[in-house]
Amino acid sequence: MKNKIGFTLVEIMIVVAIVALLATIAMPNLIKARIQANETSAQATLRTISSSMENYYALNNVYPPNTTSLNGATPPYLSTDFFSAGRNGYSYTVTVLSAYSYFITAVPISSNTGTHSYTIATGAVLEAF
């Protein structure tokens, strides 16, 4: 065997074990960073929705009768419909929407996408629970 070419099974197994060890160390940090990014995005989305609600109120002296009024206006108060489908691991629900108040909730779609739920209410009051 003068021309030994390739790796032995033991060498390959050592490399695989090292890669697996590195992956088990890195995965929790990656998941935690992803959850943090989703939560930050949910807060920003709620602030965007609240801004559009407040803009609508400033021009019409009432809050919109429904969320489609925010998207259907020309130009739209809200360019994206956040309420029809989840975005960035969160789903958005309007709990209260009347002429003079609103209450919107952002809830994680699963425990892998977020750990906190958020609400925003009339006057852009953001809270976590």
Question: Tell me: the pLDDT tens digits for 37-64?
Answer: 999 999 999 999 999 999 999 999 999 9
Model confidence band, residue 7 (pLDDT cutoffs 50, 70, 90)? confident
Whole-number Å distance between alpha carbons of 66 and 68: 6
**Residue 3, domain member (yes or no):** no
Question: Tell me: the pLDDT tens digits for 82-96?
Answer: 999 889 999 999 999
**Residue 4, domain member (yes or no):** no
Residue labelled with tokens 């919109």: 64
pLDDT at 1 over 60: no
**Residue 82, domain member (yes or no):** yes
Residue 126, amino acid: L
**Residue 2, domain member (yes or no):** no
In which domain, by residue range, is 91 found? 9-128
For the chain, how many structural domains are there in total?
A: 1
Question: Tell me: the pLDDT tens digits for 78-128?
Answer: 999 999 988 999 999 999 999 999 999 999 999 999 999 999 999 999 999
pTM of structure: 0.83
Model confidence band, residue 2 (pLDDT cutoffs 50, 70, 90)? low
**Residue 49, domain member (yes or no):** yes
Three-state secondary structure string covering the chain: CCCCCCCCHHHHHHHHHHHHHHHHHHHHHHHHHHHHHHHHHHHHHHHHHHHHHHHHHHHHCCCCCCCHHHHHCCCCCCCCCCCCCCECCEEEEEEEECCCCEEEEEEECCCCCCCCCEEEECCCEEEEC
Whole-number Å distance between alpha carbons of 71 and 32: 33
